[in-house]
């Protein structure tokens, strides 16, 4: 996500392609056997040196997965996925959990440098005085390469580490929370993830602590024929606050690659979690060849009273996006927020939205979703706002706007609303329009080129969401929006 | 789907939760057996509507005794103008009925239709209308529903665009354990079509209101201007409103919008009305009638509009004592 402008410009100039992160790192890797069976799951579990309960948990999920059907209700179409033709585990050789940065394979460091992700703390520190810092967990295929600023975070009591390390170091915490928000049987892809998940980040913020810096995880798919199945678990204890950001990229390939992640957030009393995503998986080429299939289950449990979870997502990549970050508003006066920008171009398909389940009295939610379709793409907002009888005085506001650029794209809005008490107040509005000719004309007669004018208008259209992102990422996201839409007009 | 189940007696053909479009109107779950088809009809109810209304074709549909399937067609010739009042009348008991209407409008034809549907609280009743329009047609419809054990009024309009106009309105006032579903699908097939929808509903007791409205704009249907609004009031903590307004757009030069609100009766407005000397029950009735009355006000034919207002007022009357 934090690919800086220069990297972006350089790679683009060299490759003549719009996707800046499409290179492959040539590195020796270790794979599980191809396909999925209980032995592969045992192999993954053994690789991670997991306790028996976790292996049993995985195998149970696998058994459930076998009994489930792939969901087909979303407005996306793709050829059947051959789940036996994938590698479920891929890792750079001998580099499982390096102790210090010096032990990390230089090729890997080079990869992240190329992506613009600062992994060396001193490099980050060497930046401009007062520049904001953020800690990074870098996940490469199935393993975490390095996690920065761990020591400094530990001083504040914050645990930030790869999930596999958390299983070893903090088993009680993991066991108490893993699968409590997204149970193994939740849905087809979550179930698959529970069986084969290989890496992800674990965050625990103790009571009353405000996490001293932004946390972020950077996911990179590198190996071919490989699926990535990360699992992230974030717990904000009473009165804690954490802001977390994830970014993702993958090489350009002709094949489709599967990414099925699960993210679980738990917010206890008065806690707040801000979760931002800048998703820039390889979207496939203009003809729809290649690209990532992104089937993700993200859910937050606002368990405590007055807890708050805010999802912000900028979805520009992936051939297919199937993703509905949700909030279960269990606590009294808990708050859920969802801000989304979904941009599709060429032949991309996105079916994304949110679910706000109001269970606690006085719970409030706010949904702002902006979809932009260009080329031959399809973008769907699908959401649910559900108010249960006990959620007295619940409040929701939803706004979904779609912008169409071109004659061959499509935009859909499918909001479900279920209100089951007499004191809730729910509002929903949706619009679908194209870029206004008048506004384009105005911008162009002021001297902007057509592409610049479109960028300006699109940035205005998505501004409500961009301003929810942490500042340095908002700038990157804004550039990403422009890059994604390149070639969509004229 | 209901007609098929009634004809074959096969319960598994009943629509239910497995079907996306019927998730909130589960007929499979509501009927443990499919009643046999029986051509006999119950006696017409004593509806307080005059049989002859100036310039209006009044059609009355009696309830079946057990299971009933009926298919009605109407053709409006090119350039002609029709006003139709369809009274779907209540019978008694656990009857199951499926009414299908097919309307064809010739070039430049116009049709204004008011549907008032009454059913026994134990009945299962589905009325589906398909409308085929030509260029420059004008189709306007208002559906007033009072619910049943399961009741659904579904309307599909294929809009060819051109200078044609479509208005699909509805209102539901539900008390007790009644359920009513209003579902609409408007497909814009050609350029420069316009459609407007306003659906308002009030639920009290343990009633359940369902609204599903889909606007489809097909490729090439540029210049489409489609709007839809659904507003619901919930008067009791046991009542429920489920709604799904959908936009499915395949053309870029369009202006499509939907709005959906669900809330309680405005306490400030209630206070204001009471401070002017109205007893609480009357103040509530006034606010409810005004809320759903806006739907009736959009009816062009004055005689039809009056009938709609009378129907809604009678429904609001039945709310007394409910909704606390």
For residue B324, what are the CA distances in angstroms to B171, B235, B242, B288? 21, 7, 20, 14
Tell me whether residues B240 and A418 touch, CB distance under 8 A.
yes
Strands B194-203 and B225-234: parallel
Tell me which residue in A407, A424, A430 faces B257 most closely, judged by beta carbons: A430
Q: Answer whether residue A335 shows pLDDT above 50.
A: yes
Percent of chain B with pLDDT over 90: 85
The structure tokens 């992104």 sit at: A294
* pLDDT over 70, % of chain B: 96
Whether A344 has its CB under 8 Å from any CB of chain B: the answer is no
CA distance linking residue A14 with residue A184, whole number of Å: 44
CA distances from B323 to B147, B168, B171, B318 (A): 16, 28, 18, 11
- Mean pLDDT to the nearest integer, B286-303: 95
In whole angstroms, give the CA distance from residue A15 to residue B209.
Answer: 57
B18 touches chain A (CB under 8 A): no
Q: Do A417 and B244 touch (CB under 8 A)?
A: yes
Residue B239 — left, alpha, or beta (φ > 0 → left; ψ -120 to 50 → alpha)?
beta
Chain B residues within 8 A of A430 when measuring between CB atoms? 245, 247, 257-259
Longest CA–CA span in chain B (Å) reads 59
Q: Which token pair is B76?
A: 């409006």
Distance from CA of B52 to the nearest CA of A (A): 41
- Residue A120 predicted with pLDDT over 70: no
**pLDDT (tens digit per residue) in A1-25:** 334 444 444 434 433 346 777 777 7
* Contact call for residues A393 and A424 (beta carbons, < 8 A): yes
- The more confident residue out of A29 and A76 is A76
The answer to ipTM > 0.95 is no
C-alpha pair distances (Å), A106 with each of A95, A101, A103: 11, 9, 8
Contact B94, B65 (CB under 8 A): no
Q: Is A389 on the interface with B (CB under 8 A)?
A: yes
Across the range A301-319, mean pLDDT stands at: 93
Q: How many CB atoms neighbour CB B238 within 10 A? A: 17
Residue A226 · residue A257 · CB < 8 Å: yes
Q: Cα separation of A88 and A36, whole Å?
A: 7
Give residue A14's pLDDT. Answer: 38
In this predicted structure, what is the pLDDT of residue A447? 93
The span from the CA of B123 to the CA of B121, in Å, is 6
Geometric angle at alpha carbon A381, from B26 and B181, rounded to 5°: 25
pLDDT on residue A2 = 39
Cβ of residue A425 closer than 8 Å to a chain B Cβ: yes
Distance from CA of A180 to the nearest CA of B (A): 27
Alpha carbon distance B253, B266 (integer Å): 38
Give the pLDDT of residue A362: 96
Higher pLDDT, A130 or A248: A248
Q: How far apart are CA A229 and CA A221, in angstroms?
A: 10
- Residue B262 contacts A, CB cutoff 8 Å: yes
- Cα separation, A44 vs A41, in Å, equals 5
Q: How confident is the model at residue A118 (pLDDT cuts 50, 70, 90)?
A: low
Lowest mean pLDDT among A212-216, A251-255, B125-129, B192-196: A251-255
Residue B158 exposed, middle or buried by CB count within 10 Å (0-12, 13-18, 19+): middle
Min distance A372 CA to chain B CA atoms (Å): 11
Question: What's the mean pLDDT in A128-152?
Answer: 69
> For a pLDDT cut of 70, what percent of chain A falls above it?
88
Give bridge partners of residue B241 from the DSSP assignment: A419, B209
pLDDT (mean) for A85-98: 71
Q: Is the pLDDT of residue A85 over 70?
A: yes
The conformational region for residue B101 under phi > 0 = left, psi -120 to 50 = alpha, else beta, is beta
Mean pLDDT of A366-381: 93
Overall average pLDDT of the B72-76 stretch: 96
Q: How many CA atoms lie within 13 A of A210 on its CB side?
A: 0
Average pLDDT, chain B: 92
State residue B124 phi and psi, 5-degree precision: -120, 125
Q: Which residues of B touch A394 (CB under 8 A)?
A: none
Q: Token digits for B200?
A: 């308002």
- The CA–CA distances, whole Å, from A353 to A236, A369, B212, B271, B324 equal 24, 7, 19, 39, 35
Residue A239 vs residue A222, higher pLDDT:
A239
Contact list in B for residue A407 (CB cut-off 8 A) is 219, 251-252
Distance in angstroms (rounded) separating the CA atoms of residues A34 and A85: 6
Which H or E run includes B285?
helix B280-297
Q: Quick one: pLDDT at residue A405?
A: 87
User: What integer pLDDT is reported at residue A121 of this predicted model?
Assistant: 55
Which residues, including other chains, have CB under 8 Å from residue A75's CB and lie 6 or more apart? A349, A351, A378, A380, A382, A412, A414
* Average pLDDT rounded to a whole number, residues B91-95: 92
- The whole-number pLDDT of residue A40 equals 93
Selected residue of A432, A433, A489 to mutate for chain B interface (largest B Cβ count, 10 A):
A432
Confidence of residue A33 (pLDDT cuts 50, 70, 90): confident
Selected for mutation to probe chain B from A374, A417, A485 (highest B CB count within 10 Å) is: A417
Cα separation, A39 vs A430, in Å, equals 49
Q: Give A194-227 pLDDT, tens digit per residue.
A: 999 988 899 999 999 999 888 888 888 877 778 8
Phi then psi for residue A60, to 5 deg, are -65, -45
Who wins on pLDDT, A150 or A413? A413
What is the 8-class DSSP label of residue B25? S
- Collapsing DSSP to helix, strand or coil, B144 comes out as strand
pLDDT over 70 at B35, yes or no: yes
Query: B180: closest CA among B144, B150, B142?
Result: B150
- pLDDT tens track for B207-261: 999 999 999 999 999 999 999 999 999 999 999 999 999 999 999 889 999 999 9
From the number of C-beta atoms within 10 Å of its C-beta (0-12, 13-18, 19+), residue B189 rates as middle
> How high is the pLDDT of residue B40?
87
Q: Which residues contact A485 (CB under 8 A, 6 or more apart)?
A: A343, A345, A372, A374, A405, A454, A455, A458
CA distances from B76 to A141, A227, B111, B163 (A): 65, 59, 7, 17
CB-based contact B46:B52 (threshold 8 Å): no
CA B235 to chain centre: 20
- The confidence score (pLDDT) of residue B51 equals 62
pTM of the model: 0.88
Residues making up chain B, counted from first to last: 324
| Contact in structure between A485 and A459 (CB atoms under 8 Å) | no
pLDDT for B52 beyond 50: yes
Kindly determine whether residue A389 and residue B237, on different chains, have CB atoms separated by under 8 Å. Answer: yes
Query: How does the average pLDDT of chain A come out, rounded?
Result: 85
pLDDT of A130 > 50? The answer is no
Residue A432: list chain B partners with CB under 8 A.
Answer: 247, 249, 254-257
pLDDT of residue A178: 94
CA trace torsion A206, A208, A213, A219 (10° rounding): 40
Exposed / middle / buried, residue B135 (Cβ in 10 Å: 0-12, 13-18, 19+): middle
Backbone angles phi, psi at A458, to 5 degrees: -65, -40
Four-residue CA torsion sign, A50, A53, A56, A61? negative
- Reported as half-sphere exposure (CB side, CA atoms, 13 A), residue A445 has a value of 6
Cβ–Cβ of A431/B257 closer than 8 Å?
yes
| pLDDT tens, residue by residue, A408-435 | 999 999 999 999 998 999 999 999 888 8
pLDDT at A284: 85
Q: Enter the tokens of residue A165.
A: 């390390």
Q: Token pair of A474, please? A: 């908002």
Of A101 and B192, the one with more pLDDT: B192
Average pLDDT over residues A101-105: 66
Q: Report d(CA A322, CA A124) in Å as an integer.
A: 34
Alpha-carbon span A439 to A436, nearest angstrom: 5
> Domain extents for chain B?
17-29+39-319
More confident: A488 or B166: B166
Q: Say yes or no: A411 contacts chain B, CB-CB below 8 A.
A: yes
Under the banding of pLDDT at 50, 70 and 90, the label for residue A110 is confident
Interface test with chain B among A382, A411, A438, by most B beta carbons within 10 Å? A411
Distances (CA, A) of A363 to A308, A327, A335, A358, A394: 10, 11, 6, 6, 5
**pLDDT number for residue A127:** 38
A444 in contact with chain B, both atoms CB, cutoff 8 A: no
From A414's Cα to the closest Cα of chain B, the distance in A is: 5
Q: Find the closest chain B residue to A406 by CA distance.
A: B252
- Judged by a CB distance cut-off of 8 A, whether residue B17 touches chain A is no
Taking 60 as the threshold, does the pLDDT of residue A131 lie above it? no
Question: With an 8 Å Cβ cutoff, is B267 touching chain A?
Answer: no
CB A77 within 8 A of CB A122: no
- Provide the token pair at A339: 């801000």
Note whether B143 contacts A: Cβ–Cβ < 8 A: no
Residue B223 and residue B242: Cα distance in Å, rounded?
Answer: 31
User: Which chain B residue's Cα is nearest to A421?
Assistant: B237
> For A125-144, what is the mean pLDDT?
61
The answer to whether B300 contacts chain A (CB < 8 Å) is: no
Indicate if the pLDDT at residue A96 is higher than 70. Answer: no
**Residue A238: per-residue pLDDT:** 97
- With residue B280 as reference, give the H or E element that holds it: helix B280-297
Mutate to test the interface with B, among A401, A430, A435, A438 (most CBs of B within 10 A): A430
Q: A125 vs B56, which has greater pLDDT? A: B56
Chain A residues touching residue B236 (CB < 8 angstroms): 422
Q: Residue A283: pLDDT above 90?
A: no
How many C-alpha atoms does A102 have within 13 Å on its Cβ side? 0
Q: What string of H, E and C letters represents the secondary structure of B197-228?
A: EEEEEEECCCCEEEEEEEEEECCCCCCCEEEE
* Pairing of β A241-249 and β A272-279: parallel
């Amino acid at each position: 996500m934090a690919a800086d402008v220069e990297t972006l410009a350089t790679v683009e100039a060299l490759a003549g392609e719009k996707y800046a992160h499409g290179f492959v790192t040539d590195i020796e890797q270790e794979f599980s056997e191809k396909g999925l069976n209980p032995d592969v799951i045992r192999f993954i579990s053994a690789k991670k040196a997991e306790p028996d309960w976790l292996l049993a948990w995985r195998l149970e999920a696998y058994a459930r997965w076998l009994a489930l059907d792939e969901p087909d209700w979303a407005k996306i179409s793709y050829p059947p996925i051959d789940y036996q033709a994938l590698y479920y585990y891929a890792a750079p050789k001998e580099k499982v959990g390096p102790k210090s940065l010096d032990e990390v394979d230089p090729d890997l460091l080079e990869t992240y440098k190329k992506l613009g992700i600062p992994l060396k703390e001193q490099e980050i520190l060497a930046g401009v005085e007062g520049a904001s810092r953020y800690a990074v967990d870098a996940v490469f295929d199935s393993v975490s390469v390095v996690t920065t600023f761990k020591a400094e975070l530990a001083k504040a009591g914050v645990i930030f580490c790869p999930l596999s390390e958390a299983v070893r170091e903090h088993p009680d915490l993991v066991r108490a929370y893993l699968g409590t928000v997204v149970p193994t049987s939740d849905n087809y892809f979550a179930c698959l993830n529970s069986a084969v998940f290989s890496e992800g980040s674990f965050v625990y913020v103790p009571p009353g602590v405000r996490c001293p810096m932004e946390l972020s995880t950077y996911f990179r798919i590198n190996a071919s024929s490989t699926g990535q199945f990360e699992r992230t678990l974030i717990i904000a204890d009473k009165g804690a606050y954490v802001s977390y950001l994830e970014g993702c990229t993958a090489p350009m390939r002709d094949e489709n690659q599967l990414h099925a992640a699960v993210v679980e957030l738990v917010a206890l009393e008065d806690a707040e979690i801000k979760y931002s995503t800048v998703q820039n998986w390889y979207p496939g080429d203009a003809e729809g060849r290649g690209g990532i299939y992104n089937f993700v289950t993200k859910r937050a449990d606002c368990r405590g009273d007055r807890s708050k979870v805010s999802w912000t997502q900028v979805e520009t990549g992936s051939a297919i996006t199937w993703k509905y970050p949700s909030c279960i508003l269990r606590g009294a006066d808990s708050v859920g927020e969802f801000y989304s920008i979904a941009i599709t171009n060429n032949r991309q398909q996105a079916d994304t939205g949110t679910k706000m389940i109001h269970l606690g009295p006085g719970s409030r939610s706010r949904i702002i979703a902006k979809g932009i379709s260009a080329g031959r793409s399809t973008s769907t907002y699908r959401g649910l706002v559900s108010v249960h009888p006990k959620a007295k005085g619940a409040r929701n506001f939803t706004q979904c706007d779609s912008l169409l650029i071109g004659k061959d794209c499509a935009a859909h809005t499918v909001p479900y609303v279920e209100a089951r008490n007499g004191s809730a107040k729910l509002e929903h509005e949706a619009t679908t329009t194209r870029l206004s000719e008048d506004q384009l004309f105005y911008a162009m007669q002021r001297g902007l080129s057509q592409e610049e004018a479109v960028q300006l208008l699109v940035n205005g259209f998505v501004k409500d969401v961009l301003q929810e992102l942490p500042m340095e990422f908002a700038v990157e996201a804004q550039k990403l929006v422009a890059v994604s839409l390149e070639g969509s007009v004229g | 789907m209901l007609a098929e189940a009634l004809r074959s007696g096969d319960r598994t053909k009943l629509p239910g939760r497995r079907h996306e479009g019927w998730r909130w109107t589960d007929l499979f779950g509501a009927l443990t057996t499919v009643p046999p088809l029986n051509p006999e009809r119950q006696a017409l109810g004593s509806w307080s509507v005059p049989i002859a209304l100036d310039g209006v074709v009044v059609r009355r549909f009696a309830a079946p005794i057990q299971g009933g399937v009926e298919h009605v067609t109407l053709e409006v010739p090119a350039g002609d103008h029709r006003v139709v009042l369809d009274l779907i009348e209540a019978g008694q008991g656990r009857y199951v009925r499926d009414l299908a209407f097919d309307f064809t409008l010739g070039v430049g034809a116009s049709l204004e239709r008011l549907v008032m549907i009454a059913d026994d609280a134990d009945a299962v009743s589905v009325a589906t209308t398909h409308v085929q329009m030509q260029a420059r047609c004008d189709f306007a419809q208002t559906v007033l529903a009072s619910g049943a054990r399961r009741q659904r009024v579904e309307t599909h309009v294929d809009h060819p665009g051109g200078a044609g106009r479509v208005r699909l309105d509805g209102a539901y006032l539900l008390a007790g354990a009644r359920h009513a579903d209003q579902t609409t699908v408007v497909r814009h097939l050609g350029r420069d079509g316009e459609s407007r929808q306003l659906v308002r509903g009030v639920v009290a007791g343990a009633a359940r209101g369902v609204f599903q409205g889909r606007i489809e704009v097909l490729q090439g249907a540029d210049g489409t201007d489609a709007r839809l609004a659904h507003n619901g009031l919930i008067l009791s903590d046991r009542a429920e409103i489920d709604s799904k307004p959908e936009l499915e757009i395949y053309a870029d030069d369009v202006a499509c919008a939907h709005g959906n609100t669900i809330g309680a009766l405005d306490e400030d407005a209630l206070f204001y009305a009471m401070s002017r000397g109205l007893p609480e029950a009357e103040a509530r009735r006034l606010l409810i009638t005004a809320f759903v009355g806006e739907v009736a006000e959009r009816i062009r034919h004055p005689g039809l509009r009056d009938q709609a207002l009378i129907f809604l007022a009678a429904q609001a009357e039945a709310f007394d004592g409910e909704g606390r």
